[in-house]
Structure 1
């Protein structure tokens, strides 16, 4: 009998969990950054708070920690290429941002103009758990639209989730 769960078993099991695809951005005194994440969820609605996880080996970690602000942009099915661009390490940040339209949020972050929803967050707490940083963000403002089909990740592939509001 095996003791515990292996990394491979855990990763394969987590691949069976459907997750929203998000681009998490930051900008401020430390500069502009952004990455693609599926590890995002709400924490509480009093006060509105969410969490997002970032690989601690990312060269961008310092940007997020120093800027103390981030924006979680929930993607639509039309954002597949943009999700791949922000997920890869090869494109520079200028090229990543040039591939989409952005709007300023009240707290100073930049939101993807056509995201399903964008959460403008103040970084309240950071915990390092294993290989990742867990960013806890207090949502200070948001933008939302009622149309569009969400982009999700399931079985290591993108899938489109239709909106019930689209009719």
Structure 2
């Protein structure tokens, strides 16, 4: 083992990790909920498949976010995968805009769980939160998919890579 390889291992810091993760391309999603905890939504790229038996997604949510308590109380959510034309909406849901103002943009309908579904999303996954664990600053939500709505096949997906938006078919 050389001095440089030891140095590289020690440098696995928060900032180095964040820079490394910026090189991991990810779909951009708006995750929504509604119920006793209230109407809420946030932009997320930390969403992935867990299994198809039963269909389950993993969604990461910052525990200190203004919406964390709402998602915890509602225990339902909808993952809306964004198309290339949704970049402004992604920024709106990722900022400090009040919740009711976020939903004033876009065409939303109620999904089976009661979570808002974006009608022109690439795909929407309507889910019930089955379990959650804490890991560092985040809740990791395991979400059983109870409904799926597919968008238009010709839409380009909105991807986040190297701290910028990109569009792919």
Give, in whole Å, the separation in 2 of the partners of 1:110 and 1:19: 22
Gap runs ≥5 in structure 1 = 163-167
Counting matched residue pairs gives 161
Which residue number in structure 1 is paired with residue 99 of structure 2?
93
Q: TM-score, normalised by structure 1?
A: 0.94
Which residue number in structure 2 is paired with residue 111 of structure 1?
117
Deviations 1:64-93 (A, max 9, x none): 00000000000000000000000001x111
2:33–2:114: 8 Å Cα contact kept in structure 1?
A: no
Shift of the alpha carbon at 1:4? Answer: 5.7
Q: Out of 40, 43, 55, which is 2:47 matched to?
A: 40
- Higher Cα Rg, which structure: 2
CA RMSD across the alignment = 0.9
Gap runs ≥5 in structure 2 = 1-5
Shift of the alpha carbon at 1:147? Answer: 2.5
Which residue number in structure 2 is paired with residue 165 of structure 1?
none
Q: 1:98 is paired with a residue of what secondary structure?
A: coil
Q: TM-score, normalised by structure 2?
A: 0.93
Q: 1:8 is paired with a residue of what secondary structure?
A: helix
Q: Out of 30, 35, 48, which is 1:28 matched to?
A: 35
Which residue number in structure 1 is paired with residue 85 of structure 2?
78
